[in-house]
Amino acid sequence: MWQAIKTALVLNTEGVVVAPLDGVPKVEINRNPDGSRFIDIYYAGPIRAAGGTSQVLPLILGDYARTLLELDKYKPTDDEVERYVEECQIYDEIVTRQYKPTDDEVRKIVRNCNVCINGEPTEEREVSVNRDLPRIPTNRIRGGMCLVLSEGVALKAARILKFSKKLKLEWNWLEDIIKVGKSDSSDSFCF
């Protein structure tokens, strides 16, 4: 699955950026608190070079693989959801981004995305409240995750919804994130 996701990302970005090689360092199958298995996609800082739409391609492909493998959805705990919110707030202080999602948008994305948007630690700063969570292997800020969540899922929600419908995936929750002016009618995924 990891190789398929990286290959699709290379094709989609036409092999001209480092994102497919270094932006998705690993893909794992992990367990929810109830014992069910889910897909866990790790991002790193170089994913920025792929652009917002291509950043989400691994999530779409991971969700498609999840359905084929009959795996469950990612089921975040309340502490994990608040960890994402805290990280995005801190990341906003460190890096300028094209779009900064609201705390409620972050919560909506994390609670509803069928695969886990995880990440490697990229910043020296650490979270101060939601620390030492079992399924998040670091207390440092995961920059790649923050980028994908904001400039990928939140900013490109309209485009993602369109492609998820083509693959018959359950991403209708994105309709709550789509705002006037954020929609995009161009196609850039290579399906």
125 pLDDT more than 90 = yes
Tell me the average pLDDT of the chain.
88
pLDDT the model gives residue 20 = 65
- Read off the amino acid at residue 66: R
What is the rounded distance in angstroms from the CA atom of residue 39 to the CA atom of residue 57? 14
The band of 100, judged by pLDDT with boundaries at 50, 70 and 90, is: very high
187 pLDDT more than 80 = no
Tally of CB atoms within 10 A around 36: 12
- Summarize the confidence of residues 37-54 as an average pLDDT: 86
191 pLDDT more than 50 = no
pLDDT the model gives residue 19 = 67
The band of 9, judged by pLDDT with boundaries at 50, 70 and 90, is: low
Tokens of 181: 């002016």
Between 29-33, 100-104, 151-155, 180-184, the lowest mean confidence (pLDDT) is in 180-184
Residue 136 phi, psi (nearest 5): -115, 105
- pTM of the full structure: 0.88
- Percent of the chain with pLDDT strictly greater than 70: 89
pLDDT the model gives residue 182 = 45
CB 184 within 8 A of CB 158: yes
Q: Measured in whole angstroms, how far is the alpha carbon of residue 94 from the centre of its chain?
A: 19
180 pLDDT more than 50 = no
